[in-house]
Structure 1
Amino acid sequence: MSGGGKSKVYFFWHLAEDMKAKVLVFIALAVLAAGLFAGCAGEEKTPTTTQTTTTETASEKKLSAAFVYVSPIGDAGWTYSHDLGRQYIERVYGVKTAYAENVAEGGDDERVIREFAEQGYDVIFTTSFGFMDATITVAKDFPNTIFMHCSGYKTAKNVGTYFGRMYQARYLSGLVAGAMTKTNKIGYVAAVPIPEVIRGINAFALGVKKVNPDAKIYVVWTGTWYDPAKEKEAALSLIDEGCDVIAQHQDSPAAQQAAEERGVYSIGYHSDMSKFAPHAHLTSAVWNWSVIYSYVIEQVMQGTWKSEQIWWGIDKGVVGLTPLSDVVPEDVKKMVEEEKQKYLNGEVPEQYPFVGPIYDQQGNLVKAEGEVMTDKELLSMNFFVDNVVGEIPSASE
């Protein structure tokens, strides 16, 4: 009990003038103390991975949104970028928000999502591909709750999906890498072999190929979204093989730090990673999730929300590049800006650079000259283009 609580006990005790009154006061204080301790015990049961960051008074009911994260917020990567979006809607729209971080895919995810639904959150954002089935399962039991799942493809009346065309920014970063390599060997530290990651590698490789047909992209898989030790080890192994530019699809800046230590160039992902590799960093392909989160929250507030599959790109501001390093030549910067403008001006289809001719690693023609890959083909992509070195592990590996 706090010091203020002790003072109140002393005051009420001496206020009673006879023994009978003191007994009654004693009983009342005992009941009060039991309630206080019960309240403290209840607070201790709150999961440490879940935090509510705004409060509401009894007289007002704010729109509330919960976020389920697969990795730590402070990772400077995927979860960090999503949390910037959470903070944005909290600050701009006054939304009451909560989050749970380090939630395992296919493990604790259903329990965490269900707890948020039971607590009455209006919108629940589940931010990793592996949360898809758990999201659909919980949504069936809470038809009045809105669920938005990131990067998945399953929907329901109260479940929508959202993602960004990150391959567009990947392509632009590939232009930079292809122009800056001297060894024509570019390393790529990859997480998990799902279409999203494969699509990003291929877009990056097509950017490299456009400016440097002789360069190859060497891929090493870590099998995890977030494991700084593995990520750094993978990057170092690529540098040892002669790669002088390191790119990544990982959640930590470990690959950037490895490049900085070894004196080679690097390209970050998710957020601006220049501070982790001030000399190595060329640019980062980054997310701006506040664009989509604002759109969803506005629709919910207006009562116009409906299930849809959002997949926006550079033209909407969901994906982009950080400013190019001073070490990047001006002609390269100009080329990258010109390619970016093609998206902004509608000069190319949304699927660009996945426009033929495109060949796979075996030399097979995937798309003929001028043919555009469909969104369905992009979302199920399971092959590497011809300037990628490495294999795509099977699901059992």
Structure 2
Amino acid sequence: MSKFDLSRRSLLKAGLAGVAASALPYHIARAQGAVTVGIVYVGPRDDFGWNQAHAVAAKALKEVSGVTVIEEENVPETDAVAKSMESMINLDGANLILATSFGYYNPFVVDMAKKYPKVEFRHAAPLWSKDKDPANAGSYFPYLNQAHYVNGVAAGLSSASGKIGFVAAKPIPSVLSNINSVLLGARSVKPDATVRVIFTGDWSLPVREAEATNALVDAGCDVITCHVDSPKVVIETAEARGVKSLGHNASQAPLAPKGFITGAEYKWETIYKSFAADIAGAKTLPNFLVGGFDKDMLRSTPYGAGATEEAKKAADAARAALVKGEAIYKGTLKDNQGKVVVDKTYDNYDPYLDGMNWLLEGVQGSIT
């Protein structure tokens, strides 16, 4: 955190920015059609994971003419984020706030949106409710499981054993969807492929992540992937053990020059540029925006040395099919307890899949 960020917070605490409640810089920006975007991160921007994915998008946004980007990193999910957002509005003239961590939304984004009705607030998780939340707030979120399905295809054809290891934070629907999608991608090219999962219990536990990776390698997994905030430890540990790896959130390719295959990446800049264009054009921003490969909201990390030529071709084909709307969850599928959980073809955005609370047959592990 820079001294400048701290001084801005000090001004707010001292009340010196209170006179800006009418947000004079904001009105000037509006009058000129300018766009000032404030982006708040819960961790460091160079974490090789969740925060870095947003920072990559922020860099792209800075290259858009007429757009100013204000960033603050390492902001905890406390009233500190409210102070950061308010600072960006009153001191920097922000007319769009992007809150990028799950815990920022309620009450902080909601309260700030009520206090500043002429400022747009958008949050990177599908939490906005039309019935109870302010109209100048909203949610955006790409379905990363589509890119994990592509990861699975590449893994299936890059693994000698067909055993894929998955280090996961918590058994919530989005994580379970990524695990199951890796399995389905792998089994589309290698029907006997399996995924073994270990849950660490939280989003950032580096020691536990290293232990889980080592345990998976010891269990015979020769490809490792994950869903944790920063995959850095997982990827580096896999590389040190001489096994292949698949990325999550952002690019971890530099961390594994020998074993990296590809990765599932968010393409947040597609969303951020569309928001900025709407504000510049005095258009109403969508309150709820989701998508995947079909809406250019995801990308696969360029292939590394761990990807076979066969894997590259199959993964490219799988991604092209998803762009055209090919469904991932189809036919009859059982969970790893023997219960039928998929009995038809589901569109990739079907609400039923949003409530996923099971691991498919072929995934070794438990959510309880």
2: distance between equivalents of 1:138 and 1:278?
A: 44
Residues 102-150 of structure 1 show CA distances to partners (whole Å, capped at 9, x for unaligned) of 2223564344334434444210001122222121222122111100111
**Alignment partner, residue 21 of structure 2:** none
Measure how far apart 1:295 and its partner are. Answer: 0.3
Measure how far apart 1:173 and its partner are. Answer: 0.5
**Alignment partner, residue 20 of structure 2:** none
Q: 2:362 aligned with 1:387, yes or no?
A: yes
Q: 2:271 aligned with 1:292, yes or no?
A: yes
Residues 325-345 of structure 1 show CA distances to partners (whole Å, capped at 9, x for unaligned) of 34433333222222222123x
2: distance between equivalents of 1:294 and 1:43?
A: 25
- Is the Cα contact below 8 Å between 2:37 and 2:68 reproduced in 1? yes
Equivalent residue pairs, number: 340
2: distance between equivalents of 1:380 and 1:132?
A: 20
Q: 2:21 aligned with 1:70, yes or no?
A: no
Q: Specify which of 232, 240, 261 is matched with residue 282 of structure 1.
A: 261
Gaps of 5+ in 2: 11-24
- Is the Cα contact below 8 Å between 1:136 and 1:154 reproduced in 2? no
Q: Specify which of 113, 122, 136 is matched with residue 110 of structure 2.
A: 136
Tell me the SS of whatever aligns to 1:211. Answer: coil
Residues 326-365 of structure 1 show CA distances to partners (whole Å, capped at 9, x for unaligned) of 4433333222222222123x252xxx21223222121211
Q: Specify which of 106, 110, 113 is matched with residue 85 of structure 2.
A: 113
Alignment of 1:172-211 (within 5 A): 172-211=150-189
2: distance between equivalents of 1:114 and 1:164?
A: 27
Measure how far apart 1:42 and its partner are. Answer: 9.3
Measure how far apart 1:186 and its partner are. Answer: 1.4
Residues 266-325 of structure 1 show CA distances to partners (whole Å, capped at 9, x for unaligned) of 101122212101011111111221111000000011010234211121123221212323
Measure how far apart 1:374 and its partner are. Answer: 5.2
**Alignment partner, residue 288 of structure 2:** 309
Q: 2:196 aligned with 1:218, yes or no?
A: yes
Alignment of 1:369-384 (within 5 A): 369-372=344-347, 375-384=350-359
Alignment of 1:232-247 (within 5 A): 232-247=210-225
**Alignment partner, residue 252 of structure 1:** 231
Tell me the SS of whatever aligns to 1:102. Answer: coil
Larger Rg: 1
Tell me the SS of whatever aligns to 1:92. Answer: coil
2: distance between equivalents of 1:333 and 1:380?
A: 31
- Is the Cα contact below 8 Å between 1:253 and 1:268 reproduced in 2? no
Q: 2:102 aligned with 1:123, yes or no?
A: no
Tell me the SS of whatever aligns to 2:215. Answer: helix
Tell me the SS of whatever aligns to 2:141. Answer: strand
Residues 69-106 of structure 1 show CA distances to partners (whole Å, capped at 9, x for unaligned) of 12211101111110111121122233222222222235
Measure how far apart 1:174 and its partner are. Answer: 0.4
2: distance between equivalents of 1:105 and 1:43?
A: 17
1: distance between equivalents of 2:264 and 2:139?
A: 21
Q: Specify which of 324, 333, 343 is matched with residue 322 of structure 2.
A: 343
Q: 2:332 aligned with 1:357, yes or no?
A: yes
Residues 184-215 of structure 1 show CA distances to partners (whole Å, capped at 9, x for unaligned) of 32111112332221211111111122222322
Sort the Cα spacing of 1:175 and 1:248 in 2 relative to 1 into closer, same or farther, 3 A: same
Q: Specify which of 242, 248, 251 is matched with residue 269 of structure 1.
A: 248
Measure how far apart 1:65 and its partner are. Answer: 1.0
- Is the Cα contact below 8 Å between 2:258 and 2:305 reproduced in 1? no
Q: 2:7 aligned with 1:45, yes or no?
A: yes
Tell me the SS of whatever aligns to 1:188. Answer: strand
Measure how far apart 1:237 and its partner are. Answer: 1.9
Tell me the SS of whatever aligns to 2:63. Answer: helix
Gaps of 5+ in 1: 1-40, 49-55
1: distance between equivalents of 2:77 and 2:171?
A: 15
Sort the Cα spacing of 1:196 and 1:327 in 2 relative to 1 into closer, same or farther, 3 A: closer
Aligned letter for 2:351? K
2: distance between equivalents of 1:384 and 1:318?
A: 26
**Alignment partner, residue 83 of structure 1:** 55
Residues 164-190 of structure 1 show CA distances to partners (whole Å, capped at 9, x for unaligned) of 121111001001112222333211111
1: distance between equivalents of 2:87 and 2:45?
A: 20
Q: Which has the higher contact order (CA 8 A, sep 6+)?
A: 2
**Alignment partner, residue 14 of structure 2:** none
